[in-house]
Structure 1
Amino acid sequence: DGMIQITDLNSNYITTVNEFSENILIRGRAKTSHYAWGAPLIWGNDSWYVAEGSYFGALSDTETNNNFTLYDGSRHYGTVAISLDTWYNIQHKIYNGNWSMWNCSDNFTLCDYADVSISYPYTSGKITLQGTQSGTAYWDYIYVAKYISPEPNYTIGSEEQSTGVTITLISPDDGAVTTKLKNFFSANLTTPDGKSLKNATLYVWEPDGSLLGTNFTDSINGQTSAIVNLSLSGFYPAEGFKWAYYACSNATSEACSWSENKTLHVKAIVNSIDYNSTTYETKRETFTLNITAPEEYTPTNCKFVYDGTEYSISPLDLGNDQYLLTKTIDVPTVTSAGNKSFSFEFKLGTLTQTESYQQYVDTINFSYCDSSPFINISFQDEIATVPDNATIYSQWNYWLGSGTTYKTYAYQNTSENPYYAFCFSPSNQTLFTNVSLTYGNSDSPQRKYVDSLTLTNQTTNITLFLLSSGDGMYVTFQVLSANNEPIKDVYVTAEREIDAVWYLIESSYTDDAGSVTFWLNPNYLHRFNFTKSGYEKYVTTLIPTQSTYTVTLGSVEIEENVSYNLGITYNILPTDTVLSNGTNYTFAFNISSSYWDLEGYGFTLKDENGTTIGSAIGYKSSGGMAATTVNTDNYTKITMEYFWIINGTYMRGSTYWYVKYTKKGEFSLMKFVEDLKSFSNAGMNDFTRALIAFAIIFIVVGLVCYISGTYSPLTIAALTFFLVCALDYVGLIPQVGKVKHFIPILTGLLLIGLIIHEYRS
């Protein structure tokens, strides 16, 4: 607070002023909303009064409870509810005062509403203001205007300012995000005019405004400037922690200052987000979020939300508080191209965290066209095998992904044409479609073509056959189960051999009665195929001379839970089981899937203590290699925990390597062994390596026996086993089948058998 003294140009106190006014904007910066009141500090024994236009905490003076009033012998404004971080307007005017008898402060005092006295001295005694000091509440204020009348002969003198502490908050930055439950806060403190610091206190408030805790230090006592770095524990996942410093100097009356507030968020940090920024409707897309969660907290209630549709997902624990959230979907259809919002949502304790993104979705279109078609359908007379014309009615379902989301298109033409072409946009995508097409002409009854097709910009040509009304007959096939019950939706195709080639004549699905009817030529051999999931495929060849045939399909056991290992092959690098310390190795997980679409795959590497030392992730639906380079340092064991994701299910496995400590020189035995290993991999096949290994074993065993004169079978077997193991280590012994180290194991078993035989003898 500063004190204003009003003087004339000769520095004499002014004895009478007509008017003194102030207009101030204030903002409450307390930790929470509270009640407070404010007043200009005015005291003296002269008669004076406050204008009716004075008010506090209101937009006008119509709120009379905010006007300046007399309260227990002191003067202040009425109590007002003050909201946190809200600016308020204060105006007051004082008329007809004898300024030689009393003073007015530059700033007014703000107090909470309660029964505590604050005394202010003046020359003739003191005046008492009733209320509670703001304590940890503090305020920003801006002077809008200050006015004294009459103006020409008077000037406002200097303001006497209290010596405070300048506080500059250093770290963390405002709005910073952390995963730590104990955090450090640093600030730079300085004092002007040669004053010295006395103490500083760190304050941290929870998001609801309640005090989380404080940390006090007086280690800065006597310094004119200092950087303090105090910590506080007890954080939990939440957004909106506020922190500030309160510092004091040794100036008169112990001048203290508050810093500004800064905000800290304790929540998960996004390490990476992997998705295609642009895509097409119906296309299959994978979205993967890699996060580091706050210490001791595991993400729960995880969701993936795409354009308002929610999908539950499970987090994959990568170790060291890292988690992987992933989801694969078929992108919904859109009416026009544009951005679609998607987000990952998860809970950390009571905090629900949402990470939102956008993906640009373009449209796809399949339609009739005249040029550059994906598919061209033409017609031919079945008897004459010459081109023919036909009308068409077609219905298409088409998509880019798995087919769970698709678009539809219908096209018909009642005019007979020799062909119909259909195009697709975008032309660089592979299109999947189901088509149901009816065709015919004035001479030929209608036939049906039903099929599932995969189309590209390399035109697919389909020829459909027409049979005149005088050359065919309707033939109905009824498909029954082993219990003589009709089977619906059996896919049936009728083929006919023309010029030694089987051509599709007609195709369709059975109806509710298990029946399907074709228009067939009764003079030629036809082949019929009956397929439906859950039943054995049935194929028969016959000349269709009857109007009705009955087909019985035998059921097969349906594997309800298809293994997520089906069609999965993988290999892991490095292939050595023992690694050298202090060496860089490429660790890789190479996976391929021929049956399932992979949503993700990868691994984490951990040392003997379970600490993560590396990781790698891949996202190709058909598989690929996830790799990283790690130095073995002084580890004794490295474990790889690998995984792949299918339909939100994580398949896991692990393998490990031992790390040996080696000290090698340029001409050491270890250097020779490593050079030999490198040589064994230099373009040689298994036969070459086996031949070299056999020669080495034969020569070494022969020389040892010749020089030592030892020809004991047990000695020769032991020496052979040792050589086989050594040569297997350097890679000269080829692997037999899928069993690693098969030949050393077999040689060892032979040695054990020989030892048992020797002792029994």
Structure 2
Amino acid sequence: ETTGEEDITAFIGSTWVYYIGSGGVNKTLNYANVTENHHWTFCFEPGNHTISSTLSLSYNNAQSQQRVFIPTLLTLSNITTTQKLFLLPTALGLFTQFKTEDTIGNTLTLVKAVITRVLGGNTITITSSFTDGSGLVVFFLNPDITYSGSFSKTGFVTNNFVFVPITDIRVVVLGITGAVIGGTDISQNMSYQTFPLNSSLQNNTDFLFGFDVNASETLTLISMNITSPNGTQLGFQSNAGAGFISETINTKNFTIINGAFVIQTSNETIKFVRIWIVGNDFIGDYSLFRQLGLFLDYEFKDFTRLLIVIAVIFGLMIFLTAGQITDTSESQIAVLIILVWIFSVVGWLQNPIVV
């Protein structure tokens, strides 16, 4: 799983459960090879039959962590099928964990998880597995790559999402098939608002993050989970009903802050996210200081700025002295000093004075 997609050797362990027809009768093949090879070939005879088979295949080598390939039900015939498997060098990855739950927090086991990504312009399957008895599944992935996850289980709505691997446990929630999607009954008689209202925030500043929910229907839970770009939890608040929950959080040097919000009744759930952009300037700041500072941020040429400063000063002085034969006004000198000071403060004129 590198940009070059180099061919490597690995050894495997596999379990095949295969059958003809409905599967009332099946056989199991356990195959392992501790000798590293570039590929393996499986075949059966007679070749005029088509068989169905499940497969769980693990593979790794001395330079990589083990991965597992669990495809959907295979239909095998006399037509050759080729499957490319991907390993990631140990030095390039980390273990990322997922925990599966239903909408009320019950652990879901045997949820199939499939991880894919785009490599070389094509979407490829990286690895797949099932959650264990604790609802957990662990994958070895590259933290510099954006992956797609698909978690599915019979009787539940498949959860598809994109993510960047982290070491913290991610909770994946699966809704029940046939349940109300999007909280239609809730939303008919409900209003909510998230805070801060501004979509951009200042670095290293305390802000009140809040979630205000009003509803005529009885709510069992509202919650707010605020996280950093890498998924670290910055704050969490919840309430067993409608109302206002909040927490003061410092933006530090983050570039974005994520908010995950939940509104829940006994049989419906609404979930949504909000992202705040964090930086040294407010996007909504239209002050003269910010607008002049934008010229510096986008490398407005020094000489051009100087010409503009001179033009502004001369233009204003000509306007103030219009109709005068001689200039003896001290107020005009004061205006000149103030203009020089203003342009110095915003960085258009360089001087050693610290303001």
- Determine which structure has more spread, i.e. the larger CA radius of gyration: 1
Higher helix share: 2
User: Greater relative contact order: 1 or 2 (C-alpha under 8 angstroms, separation 6 or more)?
Assistant: 2
